[in-house]
Amino acid sequence: MARRPRRERRPDPQPLRGTGSLRRLTGTPLEVYFEILPLPPGSQACALVTVMPAALARRRQEDQALVRALFAQRRVGMAIHDTEIRIVRVNITHDVPAWEESARAGITPRVPLELVMVPRDAQAVKEQLRRVADTGEPLIDWEHSARLLDSPQRERVISVSAFRLQDENGALMGVAAVFTDVTEQHVAQRRLSLLYTASQRLGRSLDTVRNCEELAGVLVPGFADLAAVDLTDEVVSGDEPGDFVSGRSLLRRVATVPDDGWPGEIYGTGDTFPLRELESEKLREGRVLVVADLAWLRARLASDEQRSRLVLPGRAASMMVVPLRARGLVLGALVLWRTAERAAFDPGDAELAQEVASRAALSVDNARRYTREHRTVETLQRSLLPEPVTEVSAAEAAGTYVPAGTAAGIGGSWFDVIPLSSARVAFVVGDVPGHGLAATATMGRLRTAVQTLADLDLAPEELLARLDDLALRLSEAADPAAGSGIQGASCVYCVYDPVTGCCTVAGAGRPPPVFARPGEGSAEYVPLRPGQPLGVDGLPSEQYEVRLPPGSVLAFCTDELVKQAGGSTSDGMERLRVKVGAAAAAYAAPSEIARVVLGDLLTGEPPANDVALLVARVRSLPEGSSVAWEFPADPAVVARTRDLVLGQLAQWGLEELSFSTELIASELVTNSIRYAGGPVGLRLIKDETLICEVSDPSQTQPHLRRARPTDEGGRGLFLIAQLAHRWGSRYTQTGKTIWTEQLLHGAEA
């Protein structure tokens, strides 16, 4: 069979394009663009000719070229959405699998955003595009998370610009959106922002817990949804963290964020828990643990309630544990969680979290070291102070020491209650300049010096004069850089005699004490003009005497208390005076008066410098507890002295002390008559001990010596020292007084 020859298909006719010039009716030329399209055979016309102004044609060609370029390139996303914000056209089809599949099937799809991105991100993008469609206001460079539905764990951030599409009549056709992937830039910017915030917030406090709270607050909510900081108990208390030993490490959860919405199924703030071998080993090695999907861990720890309470909050989807290491030691761990609405933690997040944690660890360690120093200084300071409550025959006293809020504020404030001879008592309150360990050590030296000088039974003004000389000598010998000088220290020294009710006060650079007489309901300051601080100018201090009836209250304080009490020193002193008067009127115990005064005057934050307050309620000895005589310088009175002493001891029921007391009194009176002259005073005081005093006008102090076998005298003081429990002497305004104390033993106390 003959094969018919195949007819070749003619190619489609191509249009003929070009430009030309037409002449208007007015005679002016017009540049035009034309297209001539041949028509198929059999048509009534042979060609279709279109003509338009050249400028309009060029603009149209540019518009078409722009649209082709936008949808042809792959670095910038272009999408057109209909009026219901569904995707109808997109240039990056691999991000929209549903659109690509429909296009292959020859169908023009309308893909909702929920089929492209995770619901949370899709909803946020739809709201912005809907606003553009409704208002016509364009959206410029709006950044938001846009994680794809097929890879929700991968972080993806896009920058979106959108504008409204309208037809020739202005009706809404949809919204066009241009988007670019800015994930890398966003991650870099977030990293820099987080590091900057951490540098600004971390390390500003010297409180360990506060630093941990700041660390958790820096990371939530920008980086994680939940954060917890766990420290070893040693670090929280300020001790060295030691080695992270498996099975023996005990952690305390010191900070959690958010506080109000913390999951109840895991450990919260203040809870303690041990570490297993696996966790402690990883923390000790400094490795970051990242769990991108907690589902497998939940299944693994389903039967381990303790470990589940440690790391498995119910709404968390991923977790990261970062060790807190500083100076080669592990202080604890930072634990972070993200919910399923966020991208899971990845190695990049671990690197960033580790950098922030390393900065925080240094801050925590600095706070720990500061806490240890603060505790050491405070412990030393308290160890150098007497017992808070002191009760002697002459008074009941309560001293209170309030440390400063910082180690830099703890210094040399102190108080003291010193029993003196003849049932008297001395009250002391002072302060040394400077802060820290050096000031505390200096305070100990000064307090010891005051006690030593008090043992000499010096008058207050004389004691402060010698203390001033000591301050000058110690300041000259001290190293200025060490800050251990006493120059500028202040002190108030007060002696109260329960027999006479006389209170003698002298001060150096310190406000005078407040006193309140019983039943008056008011208080006043001792009218004493304080001298200069110790070691400043060497001028002598003045002393003042005031008579206080039994039950009167004395209050001594350091400068910081009156500074805290009011806007000025005078206001603070007035508040202190009023408060002491009101508290003393209620006949409260000194400890209760101190509590009330401090509670009213110290409010808010801890004081910047330490505060010392000493409150004393004075007493008098019972009526008939003392008796005194005066004799001329005549040896004949010695026999009478013995008779008077024996008679008084019989009245007190202390006959068993008759022999020793008779011998002591006669020996002391004889020595005074022989070496000092008259008048000679003799006083017996029945207190917790039996006190015998002999006074004379001589300023010569007796001293104990060992007599030779051939000596006819010189054994009197030796015998007295053997018979008495204690003995000594003190200067008076008219001479000296030699005193002895004897224990009452089985006699009536």
| HEC per residue, 425-482 | EEEEEEECCCEHHHHHHHHHHHHHHHHHHHHCCCCHHHHHHHHHHHHHHHHHHCCHHH
pLDDT of residue 107: 56
Predicted confidence (pLDDT) at residue 712 exceeds the cutoff of 50:
no
How many C-beta atoms surround the C-beta of residue 481 within 10 A? 6
Side-chain-side CA neighbours of residue 184 (13 Å): 2
Average pLDDT over residues 2-17: 61
Q: How far apart are CA 425 and CA 526, in angstroms?
A: 18
CA distance 280 to 303: 21
Count CB neighbours of 291 within 10 A: 18
What value does the CA radius of gyration of the chain take, rounded to a whole number of Å?
48
* Per-residue pLDDT, 36: 84
**What integer pLDDT is reported at residue 713 of this predicted model?**
47
Sign of CA dihedral 696, 699, 700, 701: positive
CA atoms within 13 A on the CB side of 145: 17
Structure tokens at 603: 């409010």
Phi, psi of 519 (to 5 degrees): 80, -5
Instruction: Please count the other Cβ atoms lying within 10 Å of the Cβ belonging to residue 123.
Output: 12
Residue 443: pLDDT above 50?
A: yes
Quote helix, strand, coil % in the chain, to nearest 5: 35, 30, 35
The upper half-sphere exposure of residue 147, i.e. CA atoms within 13 Å in the direction of its Cβ, equals 16
pLDDT at 541: 78
pLDDT tens digits, 19-58? 888 888 888 888 888 888 887 777 777 888 888 888 888 8
State how far the Cα of 77 lies from the Cα of 96, in Å rounded to an integer.
11
Residue 300 in tokens = 């693994």
Task: Render 561-621 in DSSP notation, one character per residue.
Answer: HHHHHSSSHHHHHHHHHHHHHHHHHTT--HHHHHHHHHHHHS-SSPPSS-EEEEEEEE--P
- Residue scoring higher pLDDT (189 or 3): 189
Q: What is the pLDDT of residue 711?
A: 43
3 state DSSP class of 501:
coil
State residue 707's pLDDT score: 47
Neighbours of 524 (CB within 10 A): 15
Q: Which residues contact 303 (CB under 8 A, 6 or more apart)?
A: none
pLDDT above 60: residue 483: no
Amino acid letter, 409: G
CA 404/CA 698 separation, integer angstroms = 49
Asked if 484 contacts 478 with a C-beta cutoff of 8 angstroms, the reply is yes
Q: Is the four-CA dihedral 200, 203, 207, 210 of positive or negative sign?
A: positive
Rounded-to-integer distance, Cα 691 and Cα 143, Å: 92
Where helices occur in 136-207 by DSSP H, the ranges are 183-201
Give 287-343 as a DSSP string. PPEEES--HHHHHHTTT-HHHHHHH--TTEEEEEEEEEEETTEEEEEEEEEEETTSP
* Chain position carrying tokens 């389903």: 302
pLDDT of residue 194: 83
Q: How far is the C-alpha of 147 from the C-alpha of 181, rounded, in Å? A: 11
Task: Provide the pLDDT for residue 413.
Answer: 83
Percent of the chain with pLDDT over 70: 87
Lowest-confidence pick of 149-153, 370-374, 480-484, 619-623: 480-484
The H-or-E segment that residue 680 falls in is strand 680-686
Q: Kindly report the three-state secondary structure assignment for every residue of 354-412.
A: HHHHHHHHHHHHHHHHHHHHHHHHHHHHHHCCCCCEEECCCEEEEEEEECCCCCCCCEC
CA distances from 64 to 58, 70, 165, 324 (A): 10, 10, 16, 60
The whole-chain average pLDDT of the chain stands at: 82
Average pLDDT, stretch 49-72? 79
pLDDT at 282: 67
Q: What is the pLDDT of residue 298?
A: 85
Share of the chain above pLDDT 90, in %: 22
pLDDT greater than 80 at residue 359: yes
pLDDT band per the 50, 70, 90 thresholds, residue 583: confident
Looking up tokens 């914000």 gives: 85
**How many whole angstroms separate alpha carbon 662 and alpha carbon 192?**
92
Res. 162 pLDDT band, cuts 50 70 90 = very high
pLDDT of 651 higher than 80 = yes
Structural domains of the chain ordered from first start: 16-64 (no CATH), 73-181 (3.30.450.20), 186-376 (3.30.450.40), 385-618 (3.60.40.10), 626-743 (3.30.565.10)
Residue 11 has pLDDT above 80, yes or no: no
Return the pLDDT at 181.
85
CA distance 327 to 583: 52
Residue 134's pLDDT is what?
92
pLDDT, mean of residues 468-476: 82
Mapped onto helix, strand or coil, the DSSP state of residue 91 is coil
Write the pLDDT tens digit of every residue in 370-426.
888 777 777 777 777 788 888 999 999 999 888 776 555 566 788 999 999 989 999
Q: How far apart are CA 534 and CA 487, in angstroms?
A: 6
pLDDT at 647: 93
Torsion of CA 362, 368, 374, 378, to 10 degrees: -170
pLDDT of residue 17: 83
For the cut 90, the answer to whether the pLDDT of residue 301 exceeds it is no
Cα 192 to Cα 143: distance, rounded to the nearest angstrom: 17
Residue 388, φ and ψ in degrees, nearest 5: -60, -35
Of 549, 582, 746, the C-alpha closest to 654 is 746
